[in-house]
Amino acid sequence: MLQDRYGRRFRYLRLSVTDVCNFRCTYCLPSGYQAPAGAVPEGFLGAEEIAVIAAAFARLGTSKIRLTGGEPGLRADLPELIRICKQTEGINTVALTTNGYRLPKQIHDWHQAGLDRLNVSIDSLDRQEFASITGHDKLPTILDGLDQALSLGMQDIKINAVLLRDGYADRMQSFLSWLRDMPVTLRFIELMQTGDNSVFFRDQHLRGQEMLTMLVEQGWQETARAQDAGPARELWHPDYAGRIGFIMPYSSDFCASCNRLRVSALGRLHLCLFADQGHDIRSWCRDGDVEGLMQHLQDMIGDKGESHLLQQQHTGATRHFAMIGG
């Protein structure tokens, strides 16, 4: 079992499969994806390397893998990657975070490959606003894909929306009306500062706590959190089909419930989203050395810090989330 010196256990791996993204979200890649200067000699993790990572983490107690990016839907072999993770002994949940661009065309394949959980990022339900946040007029396509996922019977679908100051009140109202009949969990994520977005962050950051308090006043109730649950807080309301969650990394005890580790698409282990560096695990992946990787992961976990230092504007090596998967 992967456990750190603060007693936190890590059953959840966020595995990025590409840095590339086709969207230009204002808070993440406002100028679009730029390939790093100089060649990336080995490219992104291949299917066989991903099999090694999944096996090593699973043998150390990981039961859930989330595939993320960049935009994971841009990888043609995504169904194979889902299948590999799903067939790894010990992994019982394979999840995907996507911007939804390929959802209508791909969801059947992803589902058939064994995808258990789906998170789709939708920052606004207003078509124009959605296009101005993401750089793509794709809201109707994404909503169509979401309906298809629901009709496949997928459970516990989550919608990620980053909390942004401009236009916040109108967005909140339309999300609330939508949730009356939409059986999904809408998760508001506090905008986090990264190396590249500090000006945008200063302008747009909004705390979630005030909104959470307002919802409780309107009859929303907080669900009890399971032991080992991650840091999200979740609310339900008897008159709504949907739920609302909050991810508030700027709240004081956020890191106490951290249950996840991250591996970037270049094969670097990140002990925290805002760590100063990633640790290269590529050689074990390349050699197919599951036991060697397990030993290395156990050695590395001791270096995990107690908390991020976001309150002090310390964003570590993370220039934007597309390079690590959020």
Site for ligand SF4, rule CB under 6 A: 21, 23, 25, 28-29, 69-71, 99, 121, 321-322
Residue 17 or 301 having the CB closest to ligand SAM: 17
For residue 189, the partner it binds in ligand SF4, ligand SAM, none, with Cβ less than 5 to 8 A by kind, is: ligand SAM
Answer positive or negative: Cα dihedral of 25, 26, 27, 32.
Answer: positive
Neighbours of 22 (CB within 10 A): 18
Provide the pairing of β-strand 260-263 with 268-270. Answer: antiparallel
Least Å distance between CB 323 and ligand SAM?
9
- Write down the least CB distance from residue 321 to ligand SF4, Å: 6
What's 66-122 look like in SS3?
A: EEECCCHHHCCCHHHHHHHHHCCCCCCEEEEEECCCCHHHHHHHHHHHCCCEEEEEC
- Closest distance of CB 296 from ligand SAM, Å: 26
For helices 78-86 and 103-113, give the axis angle rounded to 10 degrees.
Answer: 30
Which among ligand SAM, ligand SF4, none contacts residue 88 (Cβ within 5 to 8 A by kind)? none
51 vs 186, beta carbon nearer ligand SAM: 186
- Give the whole-angstrom CA distance, residue 112 versus residue 109: 5
The binder of 316, among ligand SF4, ligand SAM, none, by C-beta within 5 to 8 A per type, is none
Alpha helices (H) in the chain, listed in sequence order: 47-59, 78-86, 103-113, 127-134, 139-151, 168-179, 198-204, 209-217, 282-287, 290-300
Which residue is closest to ligand SAM by CB?
Answer: 326
Measured from the CB atom, the residue of 56 and 323 that comes closer to ligand SAM is: 323
Minimum distance from residue 140 beta carbon to ligand SF4 (Å): 17
Establish how many alpha carbons lie within 13 A of residue 16's alpha carbon, considering only the half-sphere containing its beta carbon: 27
Query: How does strand 279-280 pair with strand 93-98?
Result: unpaired
Cβ at position 46, least distance to ligand SAM in Å? 20
Binding-site partner at residue 29 among ligand SF4, ligand SAM, none, CB < 5 to 8 Å by type: ligand SF4
Cβ nearer to ligand SAM, comparing 102 with 296: 102
Nearer of residues 21 and 235 to ligand SF4, judged by Cβ: 21
**Footprint of ligand SAM on this chain (CB under 6 A)?**
21, 27-28, 68-69, 71, 97-99, 121, 160, 162, 189, 191-192, 194, 197, 321-322, 325-326
- DSSP-assigned letter for residue 197: -
Rounded to the nearest whole angstrom, what is the least distance from the CB of residue 65 to ligand SF4 in the complex? 18
Cα separation, 180 vs 35, in Å, equals: 42
State the distance between the two ends of the chain, measured CA to CA, in whole angstroms.
24
Q: Closest approach of Cβ 69 to ligand SF4, in Å?
A: 6
